[in-house]
A and B are shown apart, each in its own frame.
Chain A
Amino acid sequence: MSQQLGRWRGIFTVFKKEFFENLRDRRTLLSALLIGPVFGPLLFAGLTQFSVKQSDAASDKPVAVAISHPERAPNLVDWLGARGIEMTPIALDDRAARDAVFKREHKIIVAIPADFGARLAGTQPAPILVYSDGSRAFEARAVARVKSLVMQYGQQVAQLRLLARGVDPLVGVPLAVQDIDVSTPTTRSVLLLSMLSYIVLLSMLVGGLYLAIDATAGERERGSLEPLLTTPVPRANLIYGKILASAAYMLLSLILTVTAFAIAVRFIGLERFGMSANLGPTAAAAMIACCAPIALLGAAFLTIIAAFAKSYREAQSYLSFVIAVPTLPLVFAGMLGLVATTALMFVPFLSQHLLITSILRAEPIATVQLLASVLSTLGFGVVLAWIAGRLYNREGLLG
């Protein structure tokens, strides 16, 4: 007995048993070793391919437009037709046109009002109405293209008018704006890859989820908790062992998920559309190292909640939405466009997200920031585990 009399006695015994017992549990194994590592990259690859297809399609495919009363502006119609706009002639008034777009009968309607020809001939601004549904994001490109073509037509008309009056058309072009994009292939892909940190962190938590439930709510439901509490191991040590086992599954899931991503990114072929991801072996290892401290925090967090649910089912339903809570900082980061600062490194999950983004962008990471992230996350983890130990001493635990 002597070697076990220390303060931490029993922790390793519980850890070892939970770890190996759960290797035999198909549910735990699936969630830890399959769902995150396999479905994460698959989902990512799918989304990437989809958005690539979308942007490819938007520039190449002819845009279909319904044109109301084309006979009122034959030159404009010819101009649009010559530039890849496929037109369906219709004849609708304003109300009917709004209705048709709203009901998805037509995606875009270009309407020529009755006074179009007269105003154009009289050198008055001639109205053209473009109906579209702004809430359909996928069509925004097509709408912009139609509008830009109509504007170009207008400019051509203006230049012809100036020429006819003996004025140099350049008088009407006071500015020449040039758009220079300095993004590199690596930074361009970051938008897409910011999803990656979300999937990595989430699949990490899912990896330890079932063990956290099984070792606490499950243990009580099976009736094996009470016998366990009659062994001469301090109650807090029992929960520490369980937390560590859940953390170990989270680490396993993390390593597998990042590795799977590193492999998947090669097959997705980001280079094809001018992007590259800094996700070689070194970057992957750095990502794993940055996220590893989350394991303790996540495991303690999930274990506390699972330990006080009345049943396995209740724990499951709590955790399925609680698991999304740590990912909230990521959503804010996306909305507010946060960049890595030392202060933000004290926010768990957010700091890992920012570090992952920096790694993917191949930017240097300040040592202070890295230390702040690792130490504060570990610190939060230790505090939560300690709270779990305190709570496990309560009688209410037995339910």
Chain B
Amino acid sequence: MIAVQALRKSFGEVLAVRGVSFDAADGRITGLLGPNGAGKSTTLRMLYTVLRPDAGDAFVDGVSVVTAPLEVRRSIGVLSHSAGVYPHLTARENILYFGELHGLDRSVRERRADELIELLEMQDFATRRAKGYSQGQRLKTALARALVHEPRNVLLDEPTNGLDVMAVRNLRGLLRKLRERGHCIVFSSHVMQEVAALCDEIVVIARGEVVASGTLEALRARTGQEGLEDAFVSLIGSDAGLE
């Protein structure tokens, strides 16, 4: 469960996030939708404690990202925008390394690695070095690595970028599976279809602010637009940076 309260962040002169608030409940998929440069990534990076907010706070299972970032990191799994893997390690070793960094005992992390390799169907490349992996294989590795410690909350920044259709379908399936198990899932995207197909709750962000939030139906009702695209465009005010 994640509660975001009036987060602000600027980089030098640029005010990237100006007071973003929303809630993401357990057992639901919450999508941050907005054009490129709207402040989605910056918001997520504050949630996963890589950036420190200038003002405001966010609570992950009731723990503050500002005052207890190390504790927050124990209960989140993160797929960051540039989910790089270690090229000289195999997928399995990549997963095990993160398990160890999370403080899991050897037997636990080995069991988790095997489970995730099966869950994400990584068997045919899991023991090969990551150098030369396809985009989809790299993403699976990064995802498995993010889930090794069974985090209650999963944060994903543009997870479908650069994936082919099959990989996107697999990812959706996995996120739904995690939702069924009661995880809190937050992911960002600039692809409207993506968000509409997957999310229970949509937070529309533009120019560093939340311009609307709610279920897809609620957003349609609010804008009076039946078409998905028209609804979002009317909320954001332009269609620049959306797909």
Residue positions of A touching B, CB distance < 8 A:
1, 3-5, 9-10, 13-14, 17, 21-22, 24-25, 219, 222-234, 395, 398
Contacts and interface: CB of A to CB of B under 8 A. Distances in A.
A222 B84 contact: yes
Interface in B67-117: 70-71, 73-74, 76, 78-89, 97-98, 100-104
Contact of B78 (A25, A219, A230): A230
B49 interface: yes
B83 A232 contact: no
Given A222-B84, A233-B101, 13 more contacts: A1-B102, A1-B104, A3-B103, A17-B89, A222-B86, A223-B81, A224-B85, A227-B78, A227-B98, A227-B146, A230-B76, A230-B78, A232-B73
A235 to B, nearest CB: 10
15 contacts: A3-B103, A17-B89, A17-B100, A22-B88, A219-B84, A226-B78, A226-B81, A227-B146, A228-B101, A231-B73, A232-B73, A232-B101, A233-B101, A234-B70, A395-B50
Contacts of B103: 1, 3-5, 9, 232
Contacts of A4: 103
B40 interface: no
B145 interface: yes
A224 B86 contact: yes
A10 B82 contact: no
Nearest to A222: B84
B49 A25 contact: no
A58 B71 CA distance: 75
Contact of A231 (B51, B86, B101, B129): B101
A398 B104 contact: no
A204 B146 CA distance: 37
Interface string B123-153: 0000001000000000000100110000000
A377 to B, nearest CB: 31
Interface of B: 45, 48-52, 70-71, 73-74, 76, 78-89, 97-98, 100-104, 129, 142, 145-146
Nearest to A226: B80
Contacts, number: 81
A287 to B, nearest CB: 32
Contact of A227 (B49, B71, B84, B89): B84
B73 A230 contact: yes
A10 B74 CA distance: 14
Contacts of A219: 84
B83 A223 contact: yes
Contact of A25 (B52, B76, B79, B88): B88
Contacts of A223: 80-84
B71 A232 contact: yes
Nearest to B157: A226
Given A227-B146, A230-B76, A21 B86 contact: yes
A24 B98 CA distance: 19
Contacts of A231: 73, 98, 101-102
Given A21-B89, A222-B87, A226-B82, A232 B102 contact: yes
Given A5-B103, A13-B101, A232-B70, A227 B86 contact: no
Contacts of A226: 45, 50, 78, 80-82
Nearest to A397: B50
Task: Identify the 9 closest CB pairs spanning chains A and B, nearest first.
Answer: A223-B82, A223-B84, A222-B84, A224-B84, A4-B103, A1-B103, A231-B101, A24-B88, A226-B80
B70 to A, nearest CB: 5
- Considering residues A17, A22, A223, A232, which has the most beta carbons from chain B within 10 angstroms of its beta carbon? A232
Nearest to B146: A227
Contact of A232 (B50, B74, B79, B129): B74
Nearest to A233: B101
Contacts of A24: 88, 129
- Considering residues B74, B79, B97, B104, which has the most beta carbons from chain A within 10 angstroms of its beta carbon? B97
B101 A10 contact: yes
Contacts of A233: 101
B5 to A, nearest CB: 21
A398 B87 CA distance: 20
Contacts of A3: 103
Contacts of B100: 13, 17
Contacts of A21: 86, 88-89
Contact of A230 (B48, B81, B84, B85): B48
Nearest to B49: A230
Contacts of A225: 84
Contacts of A232: 70-71, 73-74, 101-103
A80 B55 CA distance: 92
- Considering residues B70, B76, B84, B104, which has the most beta carbons from chain A within 10 angstroms of its beta carbon? B84
Contacts of A222: 82, 84-87
Contacts of B79: 227
Nearest to B69: A232
